[in-house]
Structure 1
Amino acid sequence: MAKVNFTLARIDAHRCLSGKSQCFLWDEKTPGLGLRATVAGAKSFIFQGKIHGSTVRVTIGDPKSWPIDKAQEEARRLQRMIDEGKDPRQVRADQRAISVARKADALRQDVTFAIAWEAYVNARKPYWSDRHYQDHENLASEGGASKKRGKGLTMPGPLASLRPLKLSDLASVRIAEWLKSHTADRPTMAALSYRLLRAFIRWADETEEYRGAIPTDAYKARNVKDAVPKVKAKDGDCLQREQLPAWFDAVRNIDNPVISAYLQALLLSGPRREEMAALKWTDVDFQWRSLSLSDKIEDAGRVIPLTPYLSSLLVALPRRNEWVFSSLGAEDGKIAEPRIAHNQALAAAGLPHLTLHGLRRSFGTLSEWCEVPVGVVAQIQGHKPSAIAEKHYRRRPLDLLRMWHDKIEVWILEQAGVEFASTSETSEQLAGSE
């Protein structure tokens, strides 16, 4: 292995011979220092030595960036490592790992809740239902967008106030203060936001990029648990049996037949308002009397009975587009804001305020008058099974659900004083309409 004294001229003149992938020139003054040239014309200083009987080769750098004396100094430093029994490659790898770890730690200390929350939502979105994903978007929204229903701008979600904070600032004291600031005005949203935040913190603790950034007692501390609002179901947000005549009379007299049918569908079947609003004509089977609803619990949705009176209401609706409860004024073509008409109907009937979700609650409550099995009502409404037997051993077919659901509808209509043809007569009318 020929050696020469390194000079700028010799370094500039060094070329790789034809037929070789790389060629070396070695420095006579500094043991182990070499100049490598590739067939493509690239050059770099290298160091080569032996440790434990094995050859070690380490790249120092480009001659354009490394003066000869600096390269010689670096080669001597690497030789001293070998003399001490250290592998320069391992030392360099350890230093690189320490540097990466320090940068990652600095990032964890500086990253904000907004950035980490966005990463969390994107990572978990494939495993969530649309409704659950939308809850994360809405509760962390900064607000200021035009409302989809009604006029004005949207309000910031409870989690929005945490967006500018660093993850390291999410200590239990800060979270407890955040909960207290939102509990007075929006206790239900505050409680839901806390549950979403708790799931986010658990995910961050399991994710390498954010692990250790959030204080360990962030959501487990006693002061946080004490600050979580205890939300109860709304008292009185439910129709009583004696209120049914007035409610039906007012709702059936609403000028808009789509809104009138929609409100009655909520009471007679007990779905969530979004499930019924999203009903398409392809989801309705008049022949076998069934409705296919989207479901926030079951990804595949659920099929429930189409009762005779409700079926007659749907048959009479105009088929203006794909939606059963269509609206010419709505951007997406389906019913958007039925609450105004409902509130007006309640006022005209002299009834107390009742939310659309209260109609869902009314279905479940009124069903008890018919002594319907609790599991039947839960399956129709799309509730999670509440017992082991319900979860693993009850598979009620549609015809069994239909038997009970028809009884519920008949009873409600009787209490409301609504006259309606028998099931057999209605089936013949519906068959004729199709």
Structure 2
Amino acid sequence: MAKNVVVIGTQWGDEGKGKIVDWLTDQAAGVVRFQGGHNAGHTLVVGGKKTVLHLIPSGILRESVHCFIGSGVVLSPEALLKEIDELEAAGIQVAKRLHIAPTCPLILPYHAALDQARELARGSSKIGTTGRGIGPAYEDKVARRAIRVIDLFDEEKLQQKLQENVALYNVQLQYIYQAAPLNADEIFQQLQIFRERICPMVSDVSRTLYDMNQRGEKLLFEGAQGTLLDIDHGTYPFVTSSNCVAGAAAPGAGVAPQMLNYVLGIVKAYTTRVGSGPFPTELFDEVGQGLGERGQEFGATTGRARRCGWFDAAALKRAIQINGVSGMCITKLDVMDGLEYINICVGYELNGEKIDILPFGADAVAACTPIYETLPGWQESTFGIQSYDGLPENAQAYLRRIETLCGAPVAMISTGPDREETIVLQHPYAD
């Protein structure tokens, strides 16, 4: 059987998963997105050219790779077609290589309207969603009223479900949030246009992935967001609306757990968070500002500035355990260049006790005071270095300390945004 790899974020997202997925796809026949929606933003740089993806898997830049959107993804038809058009205008063939599961729930205008109305009403207590309707779409899925891709094939059923859902949402929009109502017929007409392009890309993704695996073809499963934003295991309620841990790749793609052979955890060399929620190692000084500037820490989807802080090994330890990480890929190591010293959070003080792993829930995390261990920094540039021996001694010591504290080996190191700016110590697809 082929060795299949799951790529997941181990922090609060934005770890640089897109580049690594793109890099790995020279070995893969198929790349699968298994959760999230167009609230994700994966930035790829190939030959100096930047491409930002939101829904389409990061393997799309490899001509021979097939890309799959699994049933764990909530799909905005409008966002999907816009992304396809942009890629194909740049000369990248998408429609013939993209396969969409018929069981994907659709994100429709009423989802975004409710998402935005709720955030506005929360005021200073807002969660920090992207306002794109991701959460309400997942709510519909769990409530068993979702309109799914498969419903595009049945006009009568689609129209009936739209009427029911819009009526339900309009009550909330008008009478709870004093927002404008939506028109079901207008949404139906939009979907009539979208279906002509989307339906030819719909296929039995689960069966296709099974057949590819049986033929010995290698697969790559791509997660969105990060472990600490997981709906069950993150800093609830300041989390995303789906399970973004490695185990979610099986139900989200429609494959057996035995098909998930290697988990590559993507780890930023420092810590960032976008939106609201507790962040124990957040920096409000010139060091934090410098990390943000050098790391260009702005959301690929929203453009929001990311909050920056020291590396949190206690939080990463939780992610390593939840995901069963086989190896880590450390990204943005070059952003740490030039620091006189580097702090690593090795644990916290919580209610008078010392703990060495991130607790559950936002309230407990907000009450944590970080315990730091200080390492010497390095002044040499690590940007673009392609061999481990070429790294400064203090940078190597920093990586070794991360391994020791978190309990997983460093398999790869990213020293820049381009494909070639990568150090490989253990290839995830190697036997």
TM-score category of the 2 structures, normalised to the smaller one: under 0.3
If you compute each CA radius of gyration, which structure gives the higher value, 1 or 2? 1
TM-score, normalisation: structure 2: 0.21
Larger helix percent: 1
